[in-house]
Amino acid sequence: MPQGSPTSGVGRVIAGRYLLLNRLGSGGMGHVWLAHDQRLACEVALKEIVFSNPAYAEAEREARVARARAEARNAAGLRGHPHVVTVHDVLEHEGLPWIVMEYVADAVDLRDMVGRHGSLAPAECARIGLAVLDALTAGHQRGVMHRDVKPANILLAPDRIGSPYARVLLTDYGISVQPDAGETRYTLTSVLVGTAGYLAPERATGGPPTAAADLFSLGCTLYHAVEGHGPFVRETPLAEITAVVMEDPLPPVRAGALAPVLHAMLEKDPLRRIPAAEAEAALARIVTPQTDPGAGSYARTQTDLGSPSPCEGQAVPEPAPFIAGPAPSHSPSGRRRRPRSRLLRPVLACLLGLVLALGGVWYAMAHQPPGDTTDTGKDGPPYGTAIGLAAPLKGGDCVTADWPGGKRFDGTPRLALDPTCRDSIPDGQVMAFVSTASAGEARKVGADRCAQRTQEMREKLADVRGFAVVPTDAGFAAAGHRTACLVLGAHGPVYGPLGSHRAMGSRFADTSTMQKRDCLDVPSDRAASLVSCAGKHDQVVLGFTRLGVGVTLARARTESDAACARDVPPADYGFDPSVYEAASWTSRGPWKSGTHFVVCAVRKQNGGTMEGNEP
């Protein structure tokens, strides 16, 4: 029968359990129904995924259902969060996927609220923003990106005492099924569903989903709430996407104290975009104003990446070959949970700045001994005598680190430059900077802000840690008023440049520089090169696993594919298991360090190349 026909409506029982009562609404993914769970005797919301083209649905159904299940597992990890609509399950009924969610009675979405009643006051928008940011941060702590933050996905509902619109809930959390229906969406190579006008610029140009991208979308959403329209509203979706990438947002006229925060959230460069903790503090000051006349405004310390790496564009020789494993066997995945952090309630959030400052002091003290931060020599080295560098670090500089006593991340390392990023086998690289007004401020907040700036890069690599190189009082001016943010190998060197400092076409010397969503050209099972995901490629890196302490490298080369199929199954990332299979890469570096990390990838079973529009 045609999907979405009257026969699929009221009175139908889904999966032998859910009785459809009435349709609550329709959207880009399909229809949302109020349903009665006959097993638990409660009401739930069911989202029916509608494919307008049956032939298209038949060809894509298996992969889409698998992707929906994987995303639902991630979203289920946020069950119980006060600002997230809980996803209970994803099921398949008569060949179509259905998503079982919490039913929120008397809710209205933010888009309809603004459409009915007009734009909201800046303080009310800030209150909503704090709640949504709380939900997003909880997801980001688990590595789950929302990817489609917009007014229609924010629900306002009464609280327990009946106050209208008091509850703020983020819905459609991480659900990436993409039916061909309704609202215009922009689909990218990294399996994104996004809405034109609310995508971050880096997403619109093919970048991966990140916490910073979600924050940009939240900025667009709050702009819509306070102004009555989006910041990049245009006549067509294509024009909106172009505006997001190429043009400034429309100047706000109603935002008031919210305007500086919106400006910081809508920064096109994700490395300069306000981080979540600072956004929370700024929004909280609007919700709960301080006595300081300037407390309602936002002024943040500028950061930048500096100059390109001197080794950019150079291939890195291979000190030790690494081997791709054999064909995999598939088995269920067991995922480790990350702890979820809750943000302070708005009434206490005005204290967040103090908390962050104290945390920064602790972090800086833990990683920079006092003797290294109080060098008061008039013309001393920029980072103190212990660090030992005579000149300030530049963006992309590769470094070697000599730790006192030989124990990594214990004390202050003596750093040396590796100008070629290959001759000395670098331990890490400068990935960002944090500018501050004084050396004292750098000691208080530099380490914490460096951790924020390098978080995205660190999450993409298997075994790295961040380290802040804080200037001394005497060297503060020479260092350009900047703290250098390094990413270092956690247990050994990284063997070459990292992230954007790697040149397309360069051959990997070790698995330590492979990162999630890298696309690989694989001429043999002993070699791999970095290539653009927009063109043809042989494999895509999905994640990492590790083998037991007693597993030798030789044995790992025969067992790593099976381990990746078990721990990082391609089906969890939207790859059809009838077409794709797990692949893996091992190298001597992780075995010398004792970490035994394996890079997990995906490839076609028939050995064919993958295209730019694949998952």
Helices (H) and strands (E) in the chain, counts: 12, 22
Residue 148 catalytic? yes
Cα distances from 228 to residues 113, 233, 266, in angstroms, run 10, 11, 17
Say which residues have a Cβ less than 8 Å from residue 366's Cβ, sequence separation at least 6. none
Instruction: Sort 326 into a burial class: Cβ within 10 Å, 0-12 / 13-18 / 19+.
Output: middle
Which of 61, 36, 58, 57 shows the shortest CA–CA distance to 46?
36
For 286-307, b where at least 16 C-beta lie within 10 A, e where not — what string?
A: bbbeeeeeebbebebbebebbe
DSSP letter for each residue of 283-299: HHHHHS--SSTTTTS--
Task: Please indicate if the annotation marks 47 as binding a ligand.
Answer: yes
CA distance 198 to 213: 10
Cα distances from 234 to residues 70, 165, 241, 563, 606, in angstroms, run 34, 29, 9, 48, 44
Please name the amino acid found at residue 25: G
Supply 65's token pair. 């259902």
Which of 304, 301, 297 shows the shortest CA–CA distance to 262?
297
CA distance 147 to 193: 7
Cα distances from 490 to residues 398, 446, 460, 567, in angstroms, run 15, 20, 14, 22
The H or E element spanning position 432 is strand 428-435
CA distance 106 to 114: 16
Which residue among 109, 134, 148, 521 is the active-site one? Answer: 148
Cα distances from 275 to residues 75, 434, 456, 471, in angstroms, run 22, 12, 11, 22
Instruction: Sort 582 into a burial class: Cβ within 10 Å, 0-12 / 13-18 / 19+.
Output: buried
Three-class DSSP category at 582: strand
Which of 448, 433, 428, 431 shows the shortest CA–CA distance to 366?
448
Which of 332, 326, 323, 320 shows the shortest CA–CA distance to 603?
326
Please name the amino acid found at residue 557: R
The sign of the torsion formed by the CA atoms of 97, 101, 107, 113 equals negative
Which residues are annotated binding-site positions? Answer: 47
Active site residues: 148
Which residues are annotated binding-site positions for ATP? Answer: 47
